[in-house]
Amino acid sequence: MIEQKLRDYLHSRMPEAEELEIAKLSRGVYGASRETFLFEVNWKEGGVPKTQSMVLRRDPPTGLLDHISRDTEFRILKSLEGTGIPAPKVLWCETDPSILQRPFLLMERKDGFVNQSFQKFAASNPELRHQIAEDFVAILARIHNLDWQARGLDFLGVPQGPRDYAKQEIAKWEAIMEKVKLEPDPILTEALIWLKSNMPPAKETCLVHGDYKLDNVMYQKNQIVAIFDWEMATLGDPHDDLGWVCARYYEVDGLLNGLMEREWFLSRYQELSGRKVNPAAVKFWQVFSNVKMAAITLTGAQRYISGASRKNILALLPLLMPKLHRDIIELLGW
């Protein structure tokens, strides 16, 4: 059924297309926040055959990030076109649920490999790992150095005071966690108290990806060709992304994201971005990253337990909680 509805929708968006057909439609297996479909579109224009590979990302009936709209993600991705930041090229955004039941994005499909493939090769190929690490840091610096005002990203909301962004993020994720918590959690409660008492003043506002990790990267040969999942992007303190990258729940064999040493990452970022890294701010945002991930984890668990979703990956998310607790305890010296 989705194939026919998708064909009808593309016909409306591509009136010049003749004999339009959907081919090789398949469901993506990764990700818990959005439904992903991969497919090819074949058509003719003036008798000339054409083909384009596309990706459809649709809101699930119930997801981890219901507070984020497809339109916002679409506007972010459109603003990144032509910047040199390897984001997917979006084609259309549809918020009318009568088309495919729920809002969705359509974008061009990139060719390459994702983290699940990368980890198999990285252990035996340090040169590849180093090159991807270099790209990983360079692209993050590029994101943070983007002229977000010139790109019209102020619609995301511009923090007015040096601590406004930290206050806003703490309040947002604390509210989500309170809504979905399964039982009292003294470690997270104490972490929130510490965060509210130790907010570092942001010295600048930049575009923050919000979920910058190797799982959201596609690479080809020895370079990164795409950064995905911009749904949590916002304007704020660049140290937020640094703390997220430094989170220990993404460590593989003691390396951040299985790529690099912490010291090398922060030093190289400082060189490439041209901004001085504040260790205290990195610590603050790393503590915060554990609270944020806990809120995401508990949201997934609550959806699974309530029967709102039967995706097995959601049932596995609570296995992260001991790692999050341990990182908080070690960071705060308890």
Residue 81 belongs to a domain with what CATH number? 3.30.200.20
Q: Supply 306's token pair.
A: 């309530």
Asked if residue 158 and residue 290 are part of one domain, the reply reads yes
d(CA 320, CA 317): 6
**Strand positions, DSSP E, the chain:** 18-27, 35-45, 48-58, 90-94, 104-108, 206-208, 217-220, 223-227, 234-236, 251-252, 255-256
Asked if residue 149 and residue 186 are part of one domain, the reply reads yes
- Which of 108, 142, 161 terminates a domain? The answer is 108
Cβ(294)–Cβ(324) under 8 Å? Answer: yes
Asked if residue 308 and residue 185 are part of one domain, the reply reads yes
Task: Give the position of tokens 């384009």.
Answer: 52
Asked if residue 291 and residue 168 are part of one domain, the reply reads yes
Residue 130 belongs to a domain with what CATH number? 3.90.1200.10
From first to last of the 334 residues of the chain, give the pLDDT tens digit. 789 999 999 999 999 999 999 999 998 765 556 789 999 999 999 899 999 999 999 887 765 565 567 889 999 999 999 999 999 999 999 999 899 998 999 999 998 888 665 666 666 688 888 999 999 999 999 999 999 999 999 999 999 999 999 999 999 999 999 988 878 899 999 999 999 999 999 999 999 999 999 989 998 888 999 999 999 999 999 999 999 999 998 888 889 998 999 999 999 999 999 999 999 999 999 999 999 999 999 988 888 787 777 777 777 888 889 999 999 999 999 8
What CA dihedral angle connects 25, 219, 281 and 246, to 10 degrees?
A: 90
The count of C-alpha atoms lying within 13 angstroms of the C-alpha of 32, restricted to the half-sphere facing its C-beta, is 20
For 307, the domain range is 115-332
pLDDT recorded at residue 119: 62
Asked if residue 124 and residue 155 are part of one domain, the reply reads yes
- pTM score: 0.93
pLDDT recorded at residue 32: 58
What CA dihedral angle connects 65, 71, 74 and 76, to 10 degrees?
A: -80
Q: Supply 48's token pair.
A: 């000339």
Q: Supply 77's token pair.
A: 């991705």
Asked if residue 224 and residue 77 are part of one domain, the reply reads no
Beta strands 35-45; 18-27: pairing state: antiparallel
Asked if residue 119 and residue 73 are part of one domain, the reply reads no
d(CA 181, CA 172): 14
Asked if residue 132 and residue 254 are part of one domain, the reply reads yes
pLDDT recorded at residue 252: 86
Asked if residue 210 and residue 64 are part of one domain, the reply reads no
Instruction: Tell me how many domains the chain contains.
Output: 2
Nearest to 203 by CA among 158, 168, 239: 239
pLDDT recorded at residue 311: 75
d(CA 48, CA 261): 52
- Dmax over CA atoms of the chain, in Å, equals 70
To 5 degrees, how large is the angle CA 31–CA 35–CA 39? 105
d(CA 58, CA 37): 8
Q: Supply 80's token pair.
A: 């990144």
Task: Give the position of tokens 């997917």.
Answer: 88
pLDDT recorded at residue 30: 57
pLDDT recorded at residue 29: 62
Asked if residue 253 and residue 220 are part of one domain, the reply reads yes
Q: What is the DSSP string of 252-304?
A: ETTEETTTB-HHHHHHHHHHHH-S---HHHHHHHHHHHHHHHHHHHHHHHHHH
- Which of 82, 108, 134 terminates a domain? The answer is 108
Asked if residue 239 and residue 158 are part of one domain, the reply reads yes
Cβ(299)–Cβ(283) under 8 Å? Answer: no
Name 1's Cβ contacts closer than 8 Å, sequence gap at least 6. Answer: none
Asked if residue 123 and residue 183 are part of one domain, the reply reads yes
d(CA 253, CA 232): 27
Q: Supply 316's token pair.
A: 């596995």
pLDDT recorded at residue 67: 57
- Which of 108, 142, 169 terminates a domain? The answer is 108
